[in-house]
Amino acid sequence: MEIKYQSTRSEGTEVTASQAILKGLADDGGLFVPKTIPALDVPLAEIAKMSYQETAYEVMKLFFTDFTEEELKNCIRRAYDSKFDTQEIAPLVEKDGTYYLELFHGATIAFKDMALSILPHLLTTSARKNHISNEIVILTATSGDTGKAALAGFADVEGTSIIVFYPKNGVSAIQERQMVTQKGANTKVVGITGNFDDAQSGVKAMFNNKDLAKAMDAKGYQFSSANSINIGRLVPQVVYYVYAYTRLLADGAIQEGEAVNFVVPTGNFGNILAAFYAKNMGIPVAKLICASNENKVLFDFFETGIYDKNREFILTSSPSMDILISSNLERLIYKIAGEDAGATADMMAALASTGKYTITEDMKAQMKDFIGGWADEEQTAAEIKRMYETTRYVMDTHTAVASAVYHDYKQKSGDTTKTVIASTASPYKFGTSVMGAISDTYKGMDDFALIDELSKVSGTGIPQAVEEIRSAPVLHDTVCETADMQKTVEEILGL
Ligand SMILES: *Cc1c(COP(=O)(O)O)cnc(C)c1O
């Protein structure tokens, strides 16, 4: 069955999968959604025998229906290869009776590698299919991890270039170093004086600027997005939920048909939305637990049905979740509004003008699978310490938010459903916070010394991605005011 995509904000804009991947964002500012979420057409017991790559094909072929089998398998093969430090790609690790789905074994040791290692291949294949000759300029706002993962994915990919904006004072020292040392003649990294939401708004404004698009086209360029709003990132993320479930089946940890909970440390709502799509494809899921840090706009939304970003923006030790506008939530809103693009557009317009919208009781009732939770800085640190002391398993701060939220939920609800926690970053990426949580004795040590200590206490090897940047030279040092983002892009492209 062919799957077409349409905007969350208006009817009648049907495009193919490859066109949706190329455009990133719909012309009306909406997000592309599949007209229907396809059901898996192979029994889960069969998928349980498959590798990660084979599972990826079974999921993606149902969404990317205008790709040939060869094209899709090529993309998958190039993405999920030895860039990952384990053949399993996304290992499921049991600790303390809970399953941690480790999504950090790729090139930049964070979960964004899961999608960003395949997106460049989906994009260049899509360009070929649609006879595009312009150079594709990837424009990205990052709260830390997306930037590096996108840079690593696109560096030196022919026919593409990439410009990454990040909040100069809003990412970890290691995250910043990872980005500013990026090689590749087609890469540019720019710090801005504002926060992540400023960066994201600036990027969105450029995407919606028709004059800019014209000027770019005249010079042989066109924008595309590597942000988590691109359907070419969302769909690859569905894969590992199917994979996690079928691993549990294969290991006999669950019976066929038994539902599991997924707990996801959430920022932009892409990762947890992928779990929701997996459920809609036929994976038995009980609860989808959406874990936030102190920027708990989503927790409040699930409690009250009111999304309100008018609040203080808090910098936490889980910076990739320091987000007040969760872009991908728009796809859930569209779904629970009964696929009503008009209603979705109205709510997004309210969000843009007042920073706030309220969903109907009917819509709220349709979100009953979701549970919101949040953990403050102290609870997050305590969870890292507790897990380390009881199991020797060292988690990063984002995973710890999810783990803290889950254990609190479990205790209060008495829910004993088997549970998978999305483990979104390697602890090595957030060594300072992680080691600080384990013991006060590490206070004041420099980042790289802490990494050596982390390796000692956890008994794990230092990932290649971290070793690499110890000595790498800084290649990017541009900083601009939030208001000058477009000017900076024009300079880079010579417009
Ligand atoms: C991006 C990111 C998240 C949040 O994922 P969303 O899809 O934006 O909700 C959580 N943890 C880490 C480490 C991340 O990089």
How does pLDDT run across 146-161, given as a tens digit for each residue?
A: 888 899 989 988 889 9
Contact between 274 and 241 under an 8 Å Cβ cutoff? The reply is yes
Distance CA 96, CA 119 (A): 35
Q: What pLDDT does 366 receive?
A: 95
Q: Taking residues 101-116, report their average pLDDT.
A: 94
Query: What pairing do the DSSP bridges indicate for beta strands 160-167 and 187-192?
Result: parallel
Using most ligand atoms within 8 A of CB, pick from 398, 405, 429, 430 the residue to mutate for ligand 1: 398
424 lines ligand 1 (CB under 6 A): yes
pLDDT by residue (tens digit) across 264-306?
999 999 999 999 999 999 999 999 999 999 999 999 999 999 9
Q: What mean pLDDT is reported for the chain?
A: 95
CA proximity to 242, closest of 414, 391, 37: 37
Distance CA 74, CA 122 (A): 10
Q: How far is the CA of 189 from the centre of ligand 1 (A)?
A: 20
Out of 95-109, 140-154, 289-303, 395-409, least confident range: 140-154
Q: What pLDDT does 173 receive?
A: 80
Q: What pLDDT does 453 receive?
A: 95
Q: Taking residues 238-250, report their average pLDDT.
A: 98
The rounded percent of the chain whose pLDDT value lies above 90 is: 85
Q: Which amino acid is at 364?
A: K
Nearest 10 degrees: CA dihedral of 224, 227, 228, 233? 50
Q: How far is the CA of 182 from the centre of ligand 1 (A)?
A: 21
With cut-offs at 50, 70 and 90, classify the pLDDT of residue 65: very high
CA atoms within 13 A on the CB side of 129: 20
270 lines ligand 1 (CB under 6 A): yes
Radius of gyration of the chain (CA): 21
Q: What pLDDT does 183 receive?
A: 92
Q: How far is the CA of 1 from the centre of ligand 1 (A)?
A: 32
Distance CA 372, CA 401 (A): 12
Q: H-helix or E-strand containing 100?
A: strand 98-102
268 lines ligand 1 (CB under 6 A): yes
pLDDT by residue (tens digit) across 183-241?
999 999 999 999 988 998 999 899 889 999 999 999 999 998 787 789 999 999 999 99
Instruction: Please pick, among 23, 112, 296, 335, the residue that the annotation labels catalytic.
Output: 112
Q: How far is the CA of 160 from the centre of ligand 1 (A)?
A: 25
pLDDT by residue (tens digit) across 425-476?
999 989 999 999 999 999 889 888 999 999 999 999 999 888 888 889 999 9
Q: How far is the CA of 267 from the centre of ligand 1 (A)?
A: 5
Ligand 1: nearest atom to the Cα of 145: 15
Query: What pairing do the DSSP bridges indicate for beta strands 370-374 and 160-167?
Result: unpaired
Q: Taking residues 254-260, report their average pLDDT.
A: 97
228 lines ligand 1 (CB under 6 A): yes
188 lines ligand 1 (CB under 6 A): no
Contact between 19 and 126 under an 8 Å Cβ cutoff? The reply is yes
CA proximity to 223, closest of 394, 22, 417, 459: 22
CA atoms within 13 A on the CB side of 411: 7
Using most ligand atoms within 8 A of CB, pick from 271, 331, 433 the residue to mutate for ligand 1: 271
Distance CA 245, CA 283 (A): 7
* 73 counts as catalytic: no
Q: What pLDDT does 227 receive?
A: 75
Cβ neighbours of residue 390 closer than 8 Å, sequence gap 6 or more = 96
CA proximity to 246, closest of 3, 489, 54: 54
In Å, how far are 19, 194, 338, 477 from 103, measured between CA atoms? 28, 29, 32, 30
Q: What pLDDT does 158 receive?
A: 85
Q: Taking residues 335-339, report their average pLDDT.
A: 96
225 lines ligand 1 (CB under 6 A): no
Q: What pLDDT does 134 receive?
A: 93
